[in-house]
Amino acid sequence: MIKYYLYPFLGILLSLTNGAFANDFEWTPAIQQSYTEISAMKIAKGRMTLKALRANANGFIPYLQSYADMIEIGITEDKTKYEDFINREEERVNELEALEEASPYRNFLIAEIYLHTAFIKLKFGHEVKGANEVMKAYKLLTKNAKKFPSFIPQQKSLGILHIVIGSIPQKFQWIANLFGVRGSVKEGVQALNRVITYDKVFANEAQLFAFLLNTYVVTNHPDESKELLAFIDKNPTNQAIAFIGASLLIRLGKSEMALNVIKKRPISEDYLPVPFFYYFLGEIYLQKGKYGEAINAYKDFTQKHRGFNFLKEANYKLFLSYYLNNDLPTANKFLVVVPKVGSTIVEADKLALKMSEQFLTSHRYFSNPEKALKKVQLATEGGYYEMGLHLLENMEEANALTPKDKIEKIYRAARIYDLTEDTTKAQGYYLQVLNLSKTTESSPILPFAPRSCLYLGNIFRAKKEPQKAIDYFHKSLTFKDYEGSNSVEIKAKAALSELEK
């Protein structure tokens, strides 16, 4: 998968104070309008605004053209537009290189275009090519920062890169080493905060990235769902903020909040269609156990999405929705579709393919305890904790559970208590998971032990017992090749980068 998501997203101060750059890099009302429209996913309107401007009159034009293309192709995954976008990178960079070299905007905007290209290459599964674009941007931004140290806008992109590189999984570390780059989560967070505080143009974009990185990378960041919701409410006409915000709220276990955001999102023909809203609805209704609504939403997504990511996952979730609703014949119809559609770029699609192949080859589905545990997992992920505890309490007697089921049942209880801030109970249950995993033959391939180590690290960090936290974060890194290992590694490394100073 990588991700889906992850897709990265979205100087006035210096343009006002440095008149020498006004001709080549002037943040005019028309440029502001185009940026606002594109950032809100009003792509066609933003392009029309740009077309009304004189060609080559302003360095922000090629940057905004690239920005609009990145958002559109990132959402639609249109393969017919991909090559044209990649080929236009050089043309746009050349336009900027011909402009005023003494302006801090010149190299900053070139680096932004490199990052736009990197995002799309990664989205299309070209990891090495995408990494090369990232490194080009990093080096150019670093050079620009030395030349113009007080230039605030570039701190947005430098901050993002510091956090991402500082927490890069071990299997990709060779890329950073090859290019001789380094990252620091702490420096990255500080850089983003400077942009949020002092820059009028890129503050929203920096804030959105801060929410993204705090959710996916930074382990000790407090629950900021209320702040995120307030940010979404302050930008009611910005579809991109609603889109990313809903995704993050689901990830944070605040699916009911996400449901309200989706229902209130701006809807009109001006906005780029985003089928992923249907995917989000499917996730929320599946977590709530509302299988009919989930099925309708996932079907809407598979019918409207013309891209290639998350199609395996959506069809697997259709199987799951029917199966958990006790309709195995219909469920099987979607299970056989999983290997035939989409790609395996993102982790969710890889896992969907793996699970579907296991079911199809073994002809063995979930046992009753496994079925109940899957419902507990889904409810917990959505923030429906009472439902999750109720399901746990009504599971079969312990003597009917396999060793793996026993470990998972304890782990699911630990997560609910942790997420409801009963850390004493959570800590005890996490430790039980680790003790039982030592004696369970299949424990090396189960994700529950490394995740328990990660969450124990978080608990001890919050208790201000840094050495215990460090020990558990390191212990989480000793487990290899299990479901979700990249996420655990990223978060553990990010935490260690701050604790081990």
How much is the pLDDT for 220?
62
So what's the pLDDT on residue 5? 37
Classify the phi-psi angles of 90: left when phi > 0, otherwise alpha if psi is within -120 to 50, otherwise beta: alpha
Position 355 scores a pLDDT of 94
pTM of the predicted model as reported, rounded to 2 decimal places = 0.89
- Which string of b and e fits 153-176 if b means at least 16 CB within 10 Å? bbbbbbbbbbbbbbbbeeeeeebb
307 Cβ contact list (under 8 Å, min separation 6): 76, 77, 78
pLDDT digits (tens, 9 = 90+) for 80-111: 999 999 999 999 999 999 998 899 999 999 99
pLDDT at 289: 97
Token pair for 215 = 């959710």
pLDDT in tens, 389-441: 999 998 877 667 889 999 999 999 999 999 999 999 999 999 999 999 886 65
Contact call for residues 111 and 140 (beta carbons, < 8 A): yes
Q: Which residue stretches of the chain have pLDDT < 50?
A: 1-22
Structure confidence by residue, pLDDT tens digits, 41-54: 999 999 999 999 87
State the chain's maximal CA–CA distance in angstroms: 78
pLDDT computed for residue 224 by the predictor: 87
Give, in order, the Cα–Cα distances in Å from 195 to each of 153, 156, 159, 203, 473: 6, 6, 9, 6, 30
Q: At what angle do helices 368-382 and 403-419 cross, to 10 degrees?
A: 20
- pLDDT value at residue 100: 86
The pLDDT value given to residue 19: 36
Tell me how crowded residue 347 is: count the other CB atoms within 10 A of its CB.
Answer: 18
